[in-house]
Structure 1
């Protein structure tokens, strides 16, 4: 495939994960990606870099061609998508990981370059990136993390997070399906925790639901089955639904605890400011 950069570019394997497929334009030969912090949360990337994996690239091209794009156009689109060119007018916060989830994954790591490219492919306008498909861009993000060495469960959870965002931004029935899925998920998490607690630790059973979920055992069975029943609400990204549902069983309670701790911290900081402590 052709390059979107000049012939003087020196491509060096990314030093963080040399076998990842990421190559950095680094004249020093170290394979480093430089960043400059411009405010409390935003950075500017200094190096051009690209993702080069023939198998992943060919898969993207094939999917674009099946979607109706000409072969040459598809290859040009993939070339644009896989190459990151720094722009000062487009700062980044690296990977957009919420504060209450930083215990699970930082905003930087082996996924950093994949996240930067993914952010370039996703905007507020639906399907406006180089690949012309937010869903395909999300899949590309997952594949880049795979070759970068991000563990299986972590990269699939991160993929499910961006897939959730994609369906929400699409609006219409897709957003309504996500709202319904979230409501079912909250009910499922509560039922699963309550049922497991009643079965394993003799917690009091507080749910007087009609048969067949009137007992903890039946309630737990139905809650687990709902993971598969609700999956079609994510459409073609149904696999992301399964991963998100399983992750929610332990991520949501942990996130709730860390969120509460963050709120307590903010309150204490407010008190300190009010007292003008130094």
Structure 2
């Protein structure tokens, strides 16, 4: 595949200084490989210079998948060129990675995943499968692979991929949304049973089954059985369910702490404290 892009003319491409071996290149005349951002409100930034992802193995895999999905070779090259290149725009501010506040103990909105998250946001539009790659699921996969080359650890990037894949299936509607609802119900049952069984084994919690080890095994099996409801993204379903075993309780605790903080801030405002 060609390395030329729609922003080659007059550009100064250098490796991204945060992760020089990531495949990300930044248009930076200074040669430092810095991505410049300007904060425009409480949550959003405007990126000032262009950047692109140029890892050959990732591009080759993406090209093969597009062609397999029925896209012509020339069209696939143009789609990849557009998908892998970010062009600055004042009209399109970014919040970097959209990490909920109660989950920021797990990951920040910025880090080695920053450029991958910005490109992924560009590929996901209001309508399903209407981005440059014509497939939100493929855009999600591209996001995961960009995080891999950027050095994001295995479990973290797969959990983040699961989160965006969940959104993709929900937006698709129809059977995909229905299968997601069924998966969620089965996963809730499995996770609840797992926690209860583990508590009965370790802490001697009251449990209706005399041998909680069997309900523990059944709970793990149910999580695995539910994963195929995600179709070809079954691994996302498995990772999401397993991750929820420890992410949900910790996230709930962090969310509760956040609510307490907001209540205290409201009290401070009511008292007009300065």
Interval of TM-score (by shorter of Structure 1 and Structure 2):
over 0.9
Corresponding residue pairs, total:
272
Q: What residue number does 2:193 align with?
A: 191
Deviation string, structure 1 residues 152-191 (Cα, Å, up to 9, x no partner): 0000000000000100111112112212222222222221
Distance, in Å, in 1 between the alignment partners of 2:211 and 2:183 is 24
Q: Does 1:238 align with 2:215?
A: no
Partner secondary structure for residue 230 of structure 1 = helix
Partner secondary structure for residue 38 of structure 2 = strand
Gaps spanning 5+ residues in structure 1: where? none
Q: Does 1:53 align with 2:55?
A: yes
Q: Which moved more, 1:267-276 or 1:104-113?
A: 267-276
Deviation string, structure 1 residues 10-43 (Cα, Å, up to 9, x no partner): 0010000000000000001000000000000011
Q: What residue number does 1:220 align with?
A: 216
Distance, in Å, in 2 between the alignment partners of 1:98 and 1:165 is 14
Gaps spanning 5+ residues in structure 2: where? none
Q: What residue number does 2:45 align with?
A: 43
Distance, in Å, in 2 between the alignment partners of 1:247 and 1:79 is 34
**How does the TM-score come out when normalised to structure 2?**
0.97
Q: CA deviation at 1:232?
A: 1.4
Q: What residue number does 1:122 align with?
A: 124
Distance, in Å, in 1 between the alignment partners of 2:196 and 2:221 is 16
Partner secondary structure for residue 126 of structure 1 = coil
1:23-34 map, 5 Å: 23-34=25-36
Distance, in Å, in 1 between the alignment partners of 2:124 and 2:197 is 40
Distance, in Å, in 1 between the alignment partners of 2:192 and 2:272 is 42
Q: CA deviation at 1:214?
A: 6.3
Q: What residue number does 2:243 align with?
A: 247
Q: What residue number does 1:272 align with?
A: 268
Q: Which moved more, 1:59-68 or 1:172-181?
A: 172-181
Q: Does 1:15 align with 2:17?
A: yes
Deviation string, structure 1 residues 189-242 (Cα, Å, up to 9, x no partner): 22111110110111122xx4xxxx664222111110011110111111001111
CA RMSD between the two structures: 1.1
Are the aligned partners of 1:124 and 1:169 in contact in 2 as well (CA < 8 Å)? no
Partner secondary structure for residue 109 of structure 1 = coil
Distance, in Å, in 2 between the alignment partners of 1:107 and 1:184 is 30
Structure 1 residues 214, 77: closer, same or farther in 2, change over 3 A? Answer: farther
